[in-house]
Amino acid sequence: MKPYLLLGGGLFVLAFAIGVFVQRPAPPDALPTLALKLQQPCNLRQAACEASNSTGQRVRFRINPNTIPVMQELHVEVATEGMTNIRSARMTVEGVNMFMGYQLVDLQAIAENLLSGKLILPICTQEKMQWKALLEINTDTTRLLASFPFESAKD
């Protein structure tokens, strides 16, 4: 009886793997990429920054607290417009004037058209540290990218 259990279990695992493979969405690299252009002015210490494209897709990005302190938990918020079926959203933050590694923020939906995540910026020897936040949003059909510059200062 054991060979039949092994054969049945093997067939079940194979059928499951085939089902997952067939239903898997296209990898983000296979999706067409659209850039969202940063709207000026953009100063996250004063207000949210916005990026959009000509097809009506728009994101508004903010960091709280807007003083952007280092070594403290920051709340990242992204409001979206003109996007449906968001599969994943991630922000990668990297230093511009000094390499500080990559800070990754997986954004989760907290309301309709609102994504949120948490970030901690590392401390730096520079008085003012310049950063670039690259936002990547994957929908069923498109990969959207937006880049936001900002800075943190030692207190």
Q: Is residue 15 part of a domain?
A: no
Residue type at 76? V
Which pLDDT band holds residue 21 (cuts at 50, 70, 90)? very low
Long-range Cβ pairs for the range 22-29 (8 Å, 24+): 25/87, 25/140, 28/88, 28/136, 28/138, 28/143
Domain that holds residue 54: 30-153
Which pLDDT band holds residue 127 (cuts at 50, 70, 90)? confident
Q: Is residue 21 part of a domain?
A: no
Rounded-to-integer distance, Cα 50 and Cα 56, Å: 12
Residues present in the chain in total: 155
Q: Give me the pLDDT at residue 126, please.
A: 81
Q: What is the percentage of the chain residues whose pLDDT exceeds 90? A: 72
Residue 124 sits in a domain whose CATH number is: 2.60.40.1930
pLDDT (tens digit, 9 = 90+) per residue, 137-151? 999 999 999 999 999
pLDDT (tens digit, 9 = 90+) per residue, 36-48? 999 999 999 999 9
Q: Give me the pLDDT at residue 96, please.
A: 95
Which pLDDT band holds residue 155 (cuts at 50, 70, 90)? low
Q: Is residue 88 part of a domain?
A: yes
